[in-house]
Amino acid sequence: MRNLELSISGMTCDHCASKAEQSLNQLPGVEATVSYENQQANITSNGQTSIDAMLRAVEDKGYGASVVDSDQSVRPEKTSTKLHIAIIGTGSGAFAAAIKAAENDAQVTMIERQDAIGGCCVNVGCVPSKIMIRAAELAQQQRSNPFDGLADHEPGIDRAALLKQQISLVEDLRSAKYESILENNPSISLIKGQARFSGSDTLIISKDDGSEKVIQADRIMIASGAAPAIPPVPGLTETPYWTSTEALFAEHIPGHLIVIGSSVVAVEIAQAYRRLGAEVTMLARNKLLFNEDAILGDRLAQSFEHEGIKVYNQTQASRVDFNDDAFTVETDHGTLKGDKLLIATGRSPNTVELGLQAIGVDTLDNGAIVVDDHMRTSIEHIYAAGDCSNQPQFVYVAAAAGTRAAVNMTGGEAALDLSSMPAVIFTDPQVATVGLSEERAQALNIETDSRTLELENVPRALVNFDTDGFIKLVMEASSGRLIGVQILASSAGEIIQTAVLAIHNRMTVDQLAAQLFPYLTMVEGMKLCAQTFRRDVSQLSCCAG
């Protein structure tokens, strides 16, 4: 008789352990006990069944299996005769890749170092932030509306109740969109732990209990995401500052929130807290949205100041202290005091602990993995997608990249075209862009012409009594082709997809102007702005074609 142990990956409950145990015990001469808690099978065998057959019996149920030697080291795992793909991370890009790879008959092992699966978007990013932003928007609409016959009133805000509802939806979406996929797809398994490369096809996973697991894979995709970047401000690390995670899940609204940062996360959370009742001060090293067309940041700053958000441009913190439950922030424009401090200065790729340099994966100075339009890294069979790469840090880019990477890892050919990629900032008014700004186009030696239409020329904006914003179209002068759009409007995020399709299909501004747009919609502003290249739209009647 022979005793041996198998390490089993991918089990998510006791029922999984029962399935694996039953499969093993059906083999001749095998008696097995499988523990979900230990992720392990203890086996007694009379030798009738080979170890490879035992491994296959577990793998046929959708789990990974490897033999644990008597010295407790783990032989590299070979999950099956199928193509084996290992994916580091469990966010949107990772799951998109896993699902597509499984559809293409690969066996997938996912590796996650966090307790919760699902990555940034569902857990601490897009979903909770948009819930908070929407609640803040409704609060503001009660406080201030443009209609003479509707009385304004100060809303009653129960932060604890808002947070409870937010957490509930996050948990529901994580269960429906991530956990259930793992439970129901036998071709995808999960190992919890921190992965690092020990070779170009081998990963060592360090678990919380101190043990390690080694797996080998035919293809590996890195989708490890990113984390908030913390600037080297003296004194900062000794204080209980917030990142976006703490800000989104805080149980109380501070009296005064100081925000260091000027880009997407900073502006979204700053406005939400202001509308939920906090005093808000923003410190921008340059100015708001300095990477975008200058008019966008300038006009958003005006909207913020109208709401009572203080914006200090060209301002940096030189020191941060925390005493008596208050923050003191020294700046080159004076000293600020506040109850809470939010650091929102960008996100850094989670690649430091992966051991990429040792195997020769090329990265940028900030740790971002360099990929081509097929998501290939500098090593042929290693791919990367999402915020850990040099791609734009948007969840829909990560998901699209993950799907295409899976196609390529399983023998297909798929590229990711980012030339008409939309971007939306969910402030009020919203900021939405696609394609090239005038400045960027001119840097590429493209001669441009542009028009900017104020929303007071858009009938729907007029009847909404909400004319704060504009639509700007940028065309290539030689061809008349639309190459860029920038929008500041309450529904810019909904309007921008029309611009995406126009640019993707290489439409000219005249072709766009000739399209039929429904009257009294905000997207009609796209048509009106296109018409301004040839005529004065203020002299047209309603619905003028």
Q: Which residues pair with 241 in a beta bridge?
A: none
How many Å apart are CA 492 and CA 482, to the nearest integer? 18
Strand partners, 259: 282, 342
Question: Do residues 329 and 283 make contact, with C-beta atoms less than 8 angstroms apart?
Answer: yes
**Burial of residue 17 (number of CB atoms within 10 Å: 0-12, 13-18, 19+):** buried
Structure tokens at 421: 């990629």
Q: Which residues contact 284 (CB under 8 A, 6 or more apart)?
A: 261, 262, 290, 311, 312, 313, 314, 315
Pairing of strands 107-112, 84-88: parallel
Which residues are bridge partners to 335 per DSSP? Answer: 330
Catalytic annotation present for 16: yes
Tell me 75's DSSP state: P
Query: Among residues 63, 178, 241, 383, which one is catalytic?
Result: 63
CA distance 487 to 474: 11
Q: Where are the alpha helices (DSSP H) in 88-193?
A: 92-103, 119-124, 126-143, 159-174, 180-184
Cα radius of gyration (the chain): 27
Is residue 212 within 8 A of residue 206, CB to CB? The reply is: yes
The rounded distance, in Å, linking the Cα atoms of 178 and 412 is: 25
With a CB cutoff of 8 Å and minimum separation 6, the contacts of 412 are 104
Nearest alpha carbon to residue 379 among 387, 369, 390, 394: 369
CA–CA dist 86, 386 (Å, integer)? 16
Q: Render the burial of 408-437: b for 16+ CB within 10 Å, e for the rest.
A: bbbeeebebeeebbbbbbbbbbbbbbbbbb
Count of residues making up the chain: 545
Within a 10 A sphere around the Cβ of 188, how many other Cβ atoms? 23
| Residue reference for tokens 């394609």 | 435
Annotated catalytic residue within 409, 519, 526, 542: 542
Catalytic site residue from 54, 110, 120, 121: 121
Amino acid in position 340: K
> CA distances (Å), 520 to each of 310, 460, 487, in order?
34, 5, 18
Q: For residue 418, give Cα distances in angstroms to 398, 422, 465, 470, 471.
A: 12, 9, 36, 24, 22
Rounded Cα distance between 266 and 272, Å, is 10
Q: For residue 220, give the amino acid letter.
A: I
Is it true that the peptide bond before 429 is cis, omega within 30 degrees of 0?
yes
Query: What is the spatial distance between Cα 327 and Cα 321, in angstroms, rounded to a whole number?
Result: 6
Which residue in 36, 126, 312, 396 is the catalytic one? 126
- Please indicate whether residue 529 is annotated as part of the active site: no
Cite the active site residues: 11, 13, 16, 63, 121, 126, 542-543
